Structure 1
Amino acid sequence: MKIGLLTQWYDPEPGPAALPGALARGLVARGHDVKVVTGFPNYPTGQVAPGYRIRPRMVEELDGVEVTRVALYPSHDDSVRSRVTNYGSFGASAALMGVRKAFAGIDALWVNYSPVTVAAPMLAQSWFRRTPSVVHVLDLWPDTLTATGFAGSGIASRAAVVGLNGLCNAMYRAGSKVAYVSPGVGERLRERGVPESKLAYAPLWANESLFTPRERQTERGFGVTEHDRVLLYAGTLGRAQGLEPLVRAAARLRDAGLVCLVAGSGTEEQRLREVADEMGATNVRFLGRLAPEEMPTLMAAADVHYVSLNDDPLARITMPSKLQATLAAGGSIIGMLSGDAADVVADSGAGWVCRPDDVEGLARVLAEFVAEEPAAVAARGVAGRAYYEAHFSLARGVERIESLLTEAAGVAS
C-alpha cells in the first residue's frame, strides 16, 4: 500500500517524538511505500535541530521514507501563546503546503492526533481526497490541556475547550478507525459517542534502538557506588509528573543507602530542588537534561526506575511512554500511579505501585526496595521485559496499525 503518516513530531526529535519514525520504518520493512508530512524538528528545546532551517517546505528521504517538512513556529516553552502558535502554525502549513503534494495517491493515512491542530490537514485530506484514515489518539484532547495547566479557567479558555472538542469530534467522524493507547481512553471515546465499530486498541511501543536490556557495569558512573541502591527518574519535571512526593519520601531514607537520580528538566525543576534542600534530601541528585545517547548508560546504572503521574482524572487513563521504555529496557519499576498505568505495573510483575500523592505509601515502597535482594529486584525487570514483548513491542504495534490501515483502505490482507 501507499501509506501517509501525518505527525507534527518526527525524527530526529527524541523521546515520544521518535515513535512515528519507528512506525514508518516498520511499515517500509513490511513492503509499504510510506510518505510523511511533519514539521521542522525543534522538540524538546524549541530550537531548530542542527542541519535544518525553517522554510516553507522541504522534502528529504530518511531510511527509505519520503519526509515532507513544512514551516512552523518553533517553540516548546511554558508560554500558552507560543505553544498555541507552534501547534497552529504546523496545522496550517501542513494543510496548505504539506498534504496537497505529499499525499496525492495514498491508499490510507495514519494520523498522530496530538496536538489536535493536526485536524486541519487531516480533514483537508479527508474532505478533498476521501482518503481513509486511522486517527491514533496518543494524548486525549482537550483533556491534556487541563491536566498540564494550559487551559486556564476564564471565559476565553472555556470557549477554546469547546472549540477543541469540536475539532476532536470532527476527526472522529472523518476517521475510518480511531485507535487508542489505553483501555481508559477507549472508554472515554465511547462516552463521547465514537462508534464501537471504529474503535481499536493500539498501545504504543518504546524506542527499541535505545531501550533494550543491558548488563550493569561495575563502574556505574553518575557518582554512584557499587553499594548504593539507585532509583532513577528520567524525563520531564513538570506538573503532570507529580514528583514532589518522591523527594519527600526519599528524604526519609537518606541514611538507608538509597540514592535517587533525577535526570531531565521542566517547569517544576527549581521548586523540586528547593523542596530537596528544605527536606535535607541529600540523596536526591539532579543531573539536568542528558543527551538521548547517554540514556542507556544511565538506565543501566539504576536498580529501579520511577514512573509517576499526578492525581488528575486524566492520569488514570494515561499510559506514559516512560512505562513502555522501562519495560523494554528490562528495568524494575516503582510507580506512583493509578488506573491503567498502575494495572500494567501490577500485571507485568515488574515492580511496586502506590497511590499518587501518598508520601507515606511511597516511603514504605522505597524501604521495601532497599531491603529486597538485588537479584529479586532484577527478576522483576526480566518479567517486565517479557510483558513488553507480549503487549507493547514495536513489531506488534506495526502489525496492529498495518491491519487497521489495511482495513480502512478496504484492501485484502
Structure 2
Amino acid sequence: MKILVVCQYYYPEPFRISDICESLVQMGHDVTVLTGLPNYPEGKVLDGYRYGKKRNEVLNGVKVIRSFEIGRGSNKVKLFLNYLSFAVSGSFKALFLKGDYDVILVNQLSPVMMGIPAIVYKKKHKKKILLYCLDLWPESLAAGGIKENSFIYKIFKNISKWIYSSADSIAVTSGMFKDYFKNVLNVNKSGIYHIPQYAEEIFTESISVVDDGKYNFVFAGNIGDMQSVDTLVKAANELREHSNIKFHIVGDGSRLEECKDLAKKLKLNNIVFYGRRPLSEMPYFYGLADAMLVTLKNNKFISYTLPGKVQSYMAAGKPIIGAINGETNRLIKEAECGLCCSAEDYVELAEKILQFCNSNEKEAMAQNSNEFYSKNFSKQRFMSLLEEALTKLEG
C-alpha cells in the first residue's frame, strides 16, 4: 500500500509513530509522513529545521514532508498558535500532494486538529482515513483546566466531533475510549478497533546496575499537566525519613520546573530529576528501577487513557506502582504486576511504595508484567492489527 501518515510530531521528537512508519516500510509498504517542525518537548523549533531547512527528507525509508509550525513555547497562547499553525500549514501542503495514496493514517495525539490536513486530502482525492486516537478531545482540554461550560470547550467539542466523524475508521489505544465516542460525542462507528500500543524493542534490553542498597523507583516520560508528576514529589516528601527509598524522574515537559521547584521548596534529597534523556539511555534507568511509576490527573475521561509508558514498563518486565484511575488502574490489577491507588493521592501512593518494599511478591510482579505484555501488547500483534485495519480501507 501507499500510505499517507498525518501526525504533527515525528522524529527527532520522541514519539512511537516514527517506529510505526519505519516498521510499515519494512513490511513492504510505501510510507509518506506529513508532519510539522520538531519542537517537542523543548518548545522551540530545533536549529537544523529552521529557515526552510529539511522540509523534505527520507528517514530510514520513510518520506517525510514537513510543514511550517510555530514552536509550542511555554505558555497557552504559544501552544494554541502551535496547534493552529500546523492545522493550517499542513492543510495547505495536503492540497498539493498527489492523489496516489491508497489510504490515510492519522496518528492523533494532542491536538485533535492535526487530523484536519488528512480530511482536506480525503475530500480532494476521495481516500479513506483510519484515525488512531491516543488522546481524547476535547477532554484533554478539560484536564488542562478549560471548563466544560466554557465557550472554548464547546467550540472544540464540535471540532472534535467533526474530525472523529470524518474518519472512516477509528482505532483506540484503550477500550474505554469506545464509551466516550458513543456516549459523549455520539460518534457511533461500526469500525472502531482496539489497538493498544506496544513498546520499542530497546525496552526489552536488560542492563545490570550495581545494587546501591536502596529501593529505586523510576518515572520515565513526559512531565506535563496531565501526568501529575507533582504527586510523586509529594509522595517523596511523605517518605523523606526512609533513607533506603529514592525517586528518579526522567523526562521533560511543561511542568518539570514546577516539580523541581516543589522538591527544592520541600528540601528533598530523595528525588533526582534527570531531564530528557536519549532513548539509548533508557535501558540503564529501567535496569536501575526496582519498580516503575505512573501517574495521571484525577479526571474521569483522562483516566480512560492507557499511557504508552505502561507498555514500556511491562516490556522491560518491571513492577508498576501507580497513582492513577480508570484503564491503567484496572490493567495493573488484572495483570497482577504491581500496586495501585487513586489518582493524585500522594499519601496512599507513599503507602503503596512502602508496601512494595516490604513485599515478597516483587519477582512475581515482574514476571507477570512481562508475560502480560507478551500476550497483549507485542509489536508484532500491533503491526498486524494496524495493517489489517488499513487494508480494509484501501482503495
The answer to whether the superposition gives a TM-score over 0.5 is: yes
Note the 1:291-306 alignment, pairs <5 A: 291-306=278-293
**Residue type matched to 2:85 in 1?**
S
8 Å contact 1:116–1:141 — kept in the other structure?
Answer: yes
| Deviations 1:306-333 (CA, angstroms, capped at 9, x unpaired) | 1011211123201112211211222211
| Deviations 1:50-103 (CA, angstroms, capped at 9, x unpaired) | 53224298221111111111111122x331221111111111111112x23445
User: Is 1:72 matched with 2:69?
Assistant: yes
**Residue type matched to 2:57 in 1?**
E
8 Å contact 1:354–1:362 — kept in the other structure?
Answer: yes
- Distance of 2:265 and 2:70 partners within structure 1: 39
| Cα drift, residue 256 of structure 1 | 5.1
User: Is 1:172 matched with 2:164?
Assistant: yes
Structure 1 counterpart of 2:174:
182
1:385 is aligned, of 349, 358, 370, to: 370
**Residue type matched to 1:204 in 2?**
Q
8 Å contact 1:113–1:136 — kept in the other structure?
Answer: yes
8 Å contact 1:211–1:296 — kept in the other structure?
Answer: yes
Any idea what SS the aligned residue of 2:274 has? strand
User: Is 1:40 matched with 2:37?
Assistant: yes
Query: Bigger CA drift: 172-181 or 332-341?
Result: 172-181
RMSD: 2.3
Q: How many pairs align?
A: 392
User: Is 1:82 matched with 2:78?
Assistant: yes
The runs of 5 or more residues in structure 2 that have no matched partner are none
1:133 is aligned, of 125, 129, 132, to: 129
| Cα drift, residue 130 of structure 1 | 1.0
8 Å contact 1:126–1:132 — kept in the other structure?
Answer: yes
8 Å contact 1:57–1:71 — kept in the other structure?
Answer: no
- Distance of 2:78 and 2:253 partners within structure 1: 16
| Cα drift, residue 270 of structure 1 | 4.4
Note the 1:203-222 alignment, pairs <5 A: 203-208=196-201, 210-218=202-210
Any idea what SS the aligned residue of 1:183 has? coil
8 Å contact 1:135–1:171 — kept in the other structure?
Answer: no
8 Å contact 2:169–2:189 — kept in the other structure?
Answer: no
| Cα drift, residue 226 of structure 1 | 2.1
| Deviations 1:172-221 (CA, angstroms, capped at 9, x unpaired) | 2321101111111111011122224121112222233x322414222xxx
Structure 2 counterpart of 1:106:
101
Structure 1 counterpart of 2:228:
242
Structure 1 counterpart of 2:190:
197
| Cα drift, residue 389 of structure 1 | 2.2
User: Is 1:161 matched with 2:153?
Assistant: yes
- Distance of 2:187 and 2:280 partners within structure 1: 40
Query: Bigger CA drift: 115-124 or 53-62?
Result: 53-62
Structure 2 counterpart of 1:148:
144
8 Å contact 1:148–1:239 — kept in the other structure?
Answer: yes
- Distance of 1:391 and 1:101 partners within structure 2: 40
Query: Bigger CA drift: 38-47 or 100-109?
Result: 100-109
Q: CA separation of 1:54/1:380 partners in 2, compared to 1, >3 Å: closer, same or farther? A: farther
The runs of 5 or more residues in structure 1 that have no matched partner are 219-224
| Cα drift, residue 139 of structure 1 | 0.5
TM-score (norm 1): 0.88
Q: CA separation of 1:33/1:183 partners in 2, compared to 1, >3 Å: closer, same or farther? A: same
Any idea what SS the aligned residue of 1:366 has? helix
- Distance of 1:239 and 1:174 partners within structure 2: 29
Any idea what SS the aligned residue of 2:204 has? coil
Q: CA separation of 1:405/1:270 partners in 2, compared to 1, >3 Å: closer, same or farther? A: closer
| Cα drift, residue 398 of structure 1 | 1.4
| Cα drift, residue 274 of structure 1 | 4.8
Structure 2 counterpart of 1:25:
22
Q: CA separation of 1:256/1:237 partners in 2, compared to 1, >3 Å: closer, same or farther? A: same
1:49 is aligned, of 46, 51, 56, to: 46
| Cα drift, residue 278 of structure 1 | 5.3
| Deviations 1:360-398 (CA, angstroms, capped at 9, x unpaired) | 32222111121135xx42442232122122222222211
Structure 2 counterpart of 1:221:
none
8 Å contact 2:35–2:90 — kept in the other structure?
Answer: yes
8 Å contact 1:213–1:328 — kept in the other structure?
Answer: no
8 Å contact 2:5–2:105 — kept in the other structure?
Answer: yes
TM-score (norm 2): 0.91
- Distance of 1:205 and 1:128 partners within structure 2: 33
2:213 is aligned, of 214, 227, 230, to: 227
| Cα drift, residue 267 of structure 1 | 4.1
- Distance of 1:152 and 1:188 partners within structure 2: 18
- Distance of 2:60 and 2:97 partners within structure 1: 17
